[in-house]
Amino acid sequence: MRTLQPFTRIEAIVIALLVMLVLLGSVIPMWYPGSQGPRPTRNISQLRGIHQSLVIMAQSNNQFYAGLDQFGEPIDVNADPPYRDQSGRNIEVEGLTTEYRFQALLDDDAFTGEYAISPEEERQQWTQGSVTAANYSYTMRNISGSHERLSPTVWTANVDADQIAVSDRAINNDRKAFSRAHAIRSVHTNPADGESQWQGAVVYNDNHFAFDSEPPTEDWDDSDSYEDADDGSMFFGTHSPLVSWAGADGAVEMNP
């Protein structure tokens, strides 16, 4: 009689990964109501790919991500004209801006201009020249704050599973607001004007991702205490937000 052989460890791992991929394909669309087909999966793959590109670049830059030099200092290229944030203010140090960090990745051929745009929307695809916020869909971690967790020192390949690296952005959803968003949405939601409903993907510094139906927070210990550090509004807040979509600390796209 023929006896059945047990799975080897490698075979068991392969089967487990296949099961996870099947489950992932069925779970992801539930987090993006209104999305159809493979677009949500592509969106997450692109966010993770952008983070992986940051890690690859860091390997030849003393473990510092794009925007910082090998000593961990923000790159200042004395751009003319200088970068400006959403309020029109000059940004003196370009390496702190999200535009410059995407520019560094695109100039290095880390990915194409299309890859920087969410499959859920149409934007201006970058091909050459200066990158603007119109050329990409995503945020990167804010590294322009005075607090330790919002400074360039955290913009490294440190594999911190609690540290947010890149994410879907927030979009102003209040037509009456011009300088500060009182209601936000994402490319995956479509609430009525004046109402907030944000939903999107967030990739952390160890490259794992999470689906969030509201802006996430980070776990800061007591030594890192910060006003409103446990408040989800801080993620896209007007005061030292966790992420930046445009300029050094512009967390919300005000005029989509």
- Rounded mean pLDDT, 62-78: 87
| The pLDDT of residue 241 is above 80 | yes
- Assigned domain for 86 exists: yes
- Assigned domain for 18 exists: no
Higher pLDDT: 235 or 33? It is: 235
At 91, the amino acid letter reads I
Higher pLDDT: 191 or 28? It is: 191
- Assigned domain for 2 exists: no
Confidence of residue 201 (pLDDT cuts 50, 70, 90): very high
**Strands (DSSP E) found in the chain:** 83-84, 90-91, 138-141, 164-168, 170-172, 184-185, 200-204, 209-212, 243-244, 252-253
- Assigned domain for 118 exists: yes
pLDDT, tens digit, for every residue of 42-53?
899 999 999 999
- Residue 245 has a CB neighbour count (10 Å cut-off) of 27
Q: Compute the C-alpha angle 118/120/125, nearest 5°.
A: 45
Cβ distance 220 to 237 under 8 Å? no
Residue 48 domain boundaries? 23-253
| The pLDDT of residue 151 is above 50 | yes
- Assigned domain for 6 exists: no
| The pLDDT of residue 85 is above 60 | no
Q: Could you give the number of structural domains in the chain?
A: 1
- 32 burial (CB, 10 Å; 0-12 / 13-18 / 19+) is buried
